[in-house]
Structure 1
Amino acid sequence: MKKPTALSSFLALSAALAGTALVAPAPAHADAGPATFTVDSTSDAVDADASDGICRTAAGACTLRAAVMAANARPGSTIVLPAGHYRLAIPPDPRYLNTRTADPTTGDLNVTAPTAFRGAGARETVIDADHVDRVFRMGADTTLSDLTVTGGEARQREVPVTDPGGGGIANSKNMTLRRVAVTGNTAGYGGGIFNIPDSHLTLIESTVSGNTAGEAGGIRFDDTGTVLNSTIADNRVTDDWDRPGSLSGYGGGIDIRGTGLVDIRNSTITGNTATDGGGGINIAPAYLDSLPPEVTDVVDVPLGHLALRNTLIAGNTVGRASGDCKKAFAAIESRGGNLDSGNSCGLTAEGDLPRRDARLGPLGDHGGPTDTVALLPGSPALDAASDCPSTDQRGVPRPQGPACDIGAFEHRP
C-alpha cells in the first residue's frame, strides 16, 4: 500500500472535513424573519416543531437546543442565554455519526443558519456538553458573546476522518467570539476550536484554555483567522490519540495548517504544551512539516503566513523543553512589539524582545469577564508596546503607564 504524502493527507482530511457541512432543515414560513429567542430552561429538550420558527418544546419551554432549531428556520436570529448552566444531555444518534446529515435533536448543537448567541457573562452563562459530544458545530456565520463553552468531546468516529475535530466548536464559516471562554474540551484535532478550510475565526477579548487534543490543543486554523486582546493558555497536546493524518502532537496552543493569514495582536500565548513541534504556535501548511528535515531545513518556501503584533509568547513547552514557535514552509512576520521567552519565533522587528523571562503569574480571575495571565512586577513586557487598543482583555484602559504593555493584560501599578 502506497504511503500518503503530506500534501495528499492534508487534502484528503480537508475534503473529508468539508464533507461534514451541515444539511439545513426545512425553512420556516416564507414571511418569518429573524427573531430573538430568550432561553427560559436549562434542560436539554428538542423543539416541538423545527419548521415553525418558534422556540417551544412539547412542555412549552424554550431550551437552548429548541432555540437553535428555531433559529435554523429563521436566519439572522439572536439567542439570549440568561445566567445559568446549560448542559447537553442527549447523546448523538449513532445513525448520523458518519454522514453529512445534521441531526439537531441529538448530540452537539448544529447551527445551519446565521445566528448570534448572547450570554450574561462568561462566568455566568455556561454551555456544557458534559462529554456527550462536542458543544457546537457551526455550519453558518455565527457570533458568540459573554458565555463559556466547555465539556465538549469530539473523538475519532468509526469511519476515518469523518468527524474528528473541534471539542468545543467545529467551525466551517465565519465565526466571531467576543468575551468568550472555551475551556475543558477534548478532540482529536482542535481541542478547543477547529476551523476547517474556507472558514474564518475572529477571537476578541476571549480565553481558550485547558483544552486537550492529539493535535492543536487550543485552536486549529485551516484558513484565515484573527486573534485580538485574547489569551491562549494551558492547552495540551498528547500523542495517545488514534487519529488520521500524518502528524500528531503538534501545536499546543495554536496549530496553523492553511495558507491564509492568521493575524495575532495584543494577545498572550503561554503555558501550552505539545509532544512535538511548537508548544505555543505551530505553523506548517498541508502537513509539509512531515517531510524529512533534509527538505524542510533547506527548502522553506513561505506558503503559510502568521503575523504577530504586541503579542507575548512565553513559557510554552515541547515535552520538557521550551518551545514557543515552530514553522515549516511558512513565514512568521513580526510587526513589532512582541516578546518570545526563547528565540524560536524569529522576532527581529522594532520593539521585539526575544530571549526574555516574561515574569508571568498563573492563569486566573484577575477581574474582567474571562481569565487572564497577569504580568508580574519587573516583567519586560511592561510599557513595551505601542499602537494598542484602548483597553486590555479585561476592559482595563490602556496604557496604565508611559506606554501600554505587551500581551492581553495591562498591569495596573
Structure 2
Amino acid sequence: MKNLLLAATALLAAPIAQASTLVVTEAADTVANNGRCSLREAITAANTGLPSGAAAGECGQGVAAPYDRIDVPAGDYRLERAGSGEDNNVNGDLDIRSANLELRGAGADVVTVRGDREERVFDVGTPAAPAGAHVTIVGMTIRNGNDTSGGGIRARAGWALRVADCGLSNNAAATAGGIDAAGGLEIDGCAFHANSATDATGNGGGALRYTGTSAALIRNTTFNANESATSASVVLINGPMTFNNVTLTENIADADFNGTGDGAIVANGDVAVSNSIIARNVDLSVAIGGPNNPDCVTSPGMLLSQGYNLIGNPGTSCTFIAGPGDQIGSAAAPLDPKLEPFAVYGGTVETQPPRADSPAIDAGNPAAPGAAPACEVDDARGIARPSGPRCDIGAVEINDRIFANGFELPAP
C-alpha cells in the first residue's frame, strides 16, 4: 500500500502538459485564412500543432498548442473538397494524425459529418503508430462515407479508437462499411444503421471489422439493418471482443442473393457475450437452398456466453457456449425479442427498446450493474439500470413500467 501511495503522489506531483481545445466555427469544408475555423482546419491544426492561419478567429490562433480536443457545434458538415488518395487532410476524407485527440460533437442528433459517397469520412492514424496513440470521437452522426474499407472510419494498427454516443449510417465499403479498426477499439452508446459491405467476393463486415490484438469492447450499442453482400452483415471479428448490453437485429447477410455468405456475426476470434440480443437477423442464402445461419458463424472463434443473452437462431455453423439465463431459439423455433422499430426513444441516437411483452425485460444479469458481466450502469440513452427487479437485455432499459401488463406499449 505504501508503494502505491508513493507512486500516486509522484504522479500528482509530475508536471502535466497543458493542452488546448479548438472550437469549430465554420460548417463549410473550407481551407482559407478567413478568420473562421472549419472542421478540416481544426483537424489539421491538431495534426501539426500550428494555427490554421494568421487571422484572428482561425483554428488555434492565440491558443497554445498542443490541441487535444476539437468541439464541434450543431451543424451539417459536408466534405466537399474532392480528391482521393491524399493523406494530409487537404482533400477528401478527414485525416486524423494527432496521436492524442478527442473530437467532441454536440450530439448525434444535431451534428452530422457526411462524406456524400466520395470517400471515407475519417481516416485515423499513420502506418507507424506512436506509442499510446488514441483517438476519441463522441457525439455525432457519421454518414455517407464510401471507400475500400471503413466507409465511416478507418483506424490503423496501433491507434486505439473510442467511439461513443455516435450514429453511423449509410456508409459503404468493399469490406467494413461502417468502421474498420485495427488497433484497440471501444464502442459505447452508438447506433449502426444501413451500413453495407459491398464486395461480392469479400469478407463482409457490414457495420464493422476488427483486426486488433487487444480485447475490443462494444456496449450499449444497437446494430440495425446493416448488410453484407457476403457474410458478417454486422461484424467481422478477427480479434478478441466483448459484447455487453448490445442489440443486434434485422441485419441481412448475402444481400446480393447469390447463395454466398451468412451470419450477422462472423467470429474468427473469441467473443464474450453478456446481456445482449442477437436475433431476427436474415441470411438470404436459405432462400435459394443454402444453409441458414442468420445470427452467427464461428470458426475458429466461438461465442462465449457470460450469461443472460437472447439468441434468436444460432444456425448450423455457430459454436455458442451457453451460460446462465440464456434464451436460445433455433431454426425450427426462432426466438423473437419483440422490439420496437428502430427510432429515437429519448437520447441522441436511435435504439430499439423491448416491447412490453418482450422476453428481454427483466431478464438481464441479476447482479448489481457495474463490472462485467453484469449489466452496464446506464443504457444507450443514459437511463439508469435497473428500472425493474432486474435489468433488461439489450442496449435499452425500459424506464416506464406503467403499461407493462401488455395492454399498451411502454412510452419512449
Give your verdict on TM over 0.5: yes
Q: Counterparts of 2:144 and 2:297 in 1: how far apart (Å)?
A: 29
Question: Is 1:353 aligned to 2:332, yes or no?
Answer: no
Question: Is 1:225 aligned to 2:216, yes or no?
Answer: yes
* Cα 1:264/1:328, change in 2 over 3 Å: same
1:374 pairs with one of 336, 340, 353: 353
Question: Is 1:132 aligned to 2:118, yes or no?
Answer: yes
Q: Counterparts of 1:265 and 1:278 in 2: how far apart (Å)?
A: 23
2:232 pairs with one of 235, 248, 251: 251
Per the alignment, residue 142 of structure 2 pairs with: 149
Aligned residues with identical type, % of pairs: 32
Displacement, 1:278?
4.1
Q: Counterparts of 1:371 and 1:315 in 2: how far apart (Å)?
A: 18
Q: Counterparts of 1:88 and 1:331 in 2: how far apart (Å)?
A: 40
Per the alignment, residue 316 of structure 1 pairs with: 281
- State the SS of the aligned residue for 1:371: coil
RMSD between aligned residues: 1.6
Q: Counterparts of 2:271 and 2:375 in 1: how far apart (Å)?
A: 19
Contact 2:206 2:226 in 1 (8 A): yes
Displacement, 1:76?
5.3
2:192 pairs with one of 198, 208, 213: 208
Question: Is 1:73 aligned to 2:52, yes or no?
Answer: no
Q: Counterparts of 1:33 and 1:165 in 2: how far apart (Å)?
A: 36
Q: Counterparts of 1:277 and 1:380 in 2: how far apart (Å)?
A: 29
Contact 1:315 1:322 in 2 (8 A): no
Displacement, 1:277?
4.3
Displacement, 1:322?
5.8
Question: Is 1:391 aligned to 2:378, yes or no?
Answer: yes
Aligned partner of 1:166: which letter?
A: G
Displacement, 1:388?
1.3
Per the alignment, residue 242 of structure 1 pairs with: none
Per the alignment, residue 20 of structure 1 pairs with: none
Contact 1:316 1:322 in 2 (8 A): no
Unaligned ranges ≥5, structure 2: 1-16, 50-65, 126-132, 199-203, 255-259, 330-334, 366-373, 402-412
Per the alignment, residue 85 of structure 1 pairs with: 76
Question: Is 1:265 aligned to 2:244, yes or no?
Answer: yes
* Cα 1:33/1:188, change in 2 over 3 Å: farther
Contact 1:166 1:194 in 2 (8 A): yes
Deviates more, 1:337-346 or 1:356-365: 337-346
Contact 2:304 2:322 in 1 (8 A): no
Q: Counterparts of 2:341 and 2:279 in 1: how far apart (Å)?
A: 12
Displacement, 1:343?
3.2
Q: Counterparts of 1:227 and 1:203 in 2: how far apart (Å)?
A: 5
List structure 1 segments (4+ residues) > 4 angstroms apart after TM superposition: none
Aligned partner of 1:233: which letter?
A: N
Q: Counterparts of 1:389 and 1:65 in 2: how far apart (Å)?
A: 35
Q: Counterparts of 1:270 and 1:78 in 2: how far apart (Å)?
A: 34
Displacement, 1:132?
1.8
Aligned partner of 2:179: which letter?
A: I
What are the residue-to-residue correspondences of 1:11-410 with 2, within 5 Å? 34-46=19-31, 57-74=32-49, 77-93=68-84, 97=85, 102-113=87-98, 114-139=100-125, 140-154=133-147, 164-172=148-156, 173-196=159-182, 199-214=183-198, 215-223=204-212, 224-238=215-229, 249-257=230-238, 260-275=239-254, 276-284=260-268, 304-319=269-284, 320=287, 323-344=294-315, 345=318, 346-355=320-329, 356-386=335-365, 387-410=374-397
TM-score when normalising by structure 2: 0.76
Displacement, 1:279?
3.1
Displacement, 1:383?
0.5
Q: Deviations over 1:262-300 (max 9, x none)?
A: 11111101111111444321112xxxxxxxxxxxxxxxx
Q: Counterparts of 2:27 and 2:88 in 1: how far apart (Å)?
A: 20
Contact 1:338 1:347 in 2 (8 A): no
Contact 2:161 2:181 in 1 (8 A): no
Aligned residues: 324
Q: Deviations over 1:68-119 (max 9, x none)?
A: 00000235511110100011001124xxx2xxx6231000000111211111
TM-score when normalising by structure 1: 0.75
Contact 1:218 1:235 in 2 (8 A): yes
Aligned partner of 1:324: which letter?
A: D
If you compute each CA radius of gyration, which structure gives the higher value, 1 or 2?
Answer: 2
Contact 2:174 2:197 in 1 (8 A): yes
Aligned partner of 1:79: which letter?
A: I
Contact 1:283 1:327 in 2 (8 A): yes
Displacement, 1:337?
0.6
- State the SS of the aligned residue for 1:177: strand
